[in-house]
């Protein structure tokens, strides 16, 4: 798995399971797990993933935008799929 894909998957998990209130907090959490990331890279990852800051009862925190979730999934799928091969098996032999 690419380092970007590993990092972005972990960012999503952390955002969905924690109340992340600052990018600095997330950078520290990632660094604690051995994932090196700069604030600039994190900002680009946020844009790619559709991360938005929302207000809540406890204050502001980051979450995934519902509108951007499909778009971000499509981008990430592009990292995973290397090729598509069509199976030209004759369906008439399956019915015998």
pLDDT score of 77 more than 80: no
The answer to whether residue 96 sits within a structural domain is: no
For 29, other C-beta atoms within 10 Å of its C-beta total: 15
Residue 81 DSSP SS3: coil
The answer to whether residue 88 sits within a structural domain is: no
Q: How many domains does the chain have?
A: 1
79 with 5: CB under 8 angstroms?
yes
Say what the pTM is: 0.66
Percent of the chain with pLDDT over 90: 44
- Which tokens belong to 60? 């502001």
The answer to whether residue 74 sits within a structural domain is: yes
Average pLDDT, stretch 55-84? Answer: 72
Confidence (pLDDT) at 90: 62
Expressed as residue numbers, the domain containing 32 is 3-80
- Which tokens belong to 37? 């990331």
Question: Smallest Cα–Cα separation from 18: which of 61, 48, 59?
Answer: 61
For 85, other C-beta atoms within 10 Å of its C-beta total: 5
**Residue 1: pLDDT band by 50, 70, 90 thresholds?**
low
Confidence (pLDDT) at 75: 64
For residue 21, what is the domain's CATH number?
1.10.10.10
The answer to whether residue 28 sits within a structural domain is: yes
pLDDT in tens, 5-30: 999 999 999 999 999 999 999 999 99
Report the distance separating Cα 85 and Cα 1, nearest Å: 21
């Amino acid at each position: 798995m690419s380092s970007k894909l590993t990092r972005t998957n972990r960012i999503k998990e952390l955002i969905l399971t924690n109340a992340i209130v600052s990018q600095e907090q997330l950078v520290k959490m990632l660094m604690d797990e051995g994932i090196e990331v700069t604030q600039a890279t994190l900002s680009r990852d946020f844009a790619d993933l559709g991360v938005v800051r929302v207000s809540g009862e406890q204050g502001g925190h980051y979450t995934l935008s519902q509108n951007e979730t499909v778009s971000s999934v499509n981008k990430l799928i592009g990292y995973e799929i290397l090729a598509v091969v069509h199976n030209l098996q004759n369906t008439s032999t399956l019915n015998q």
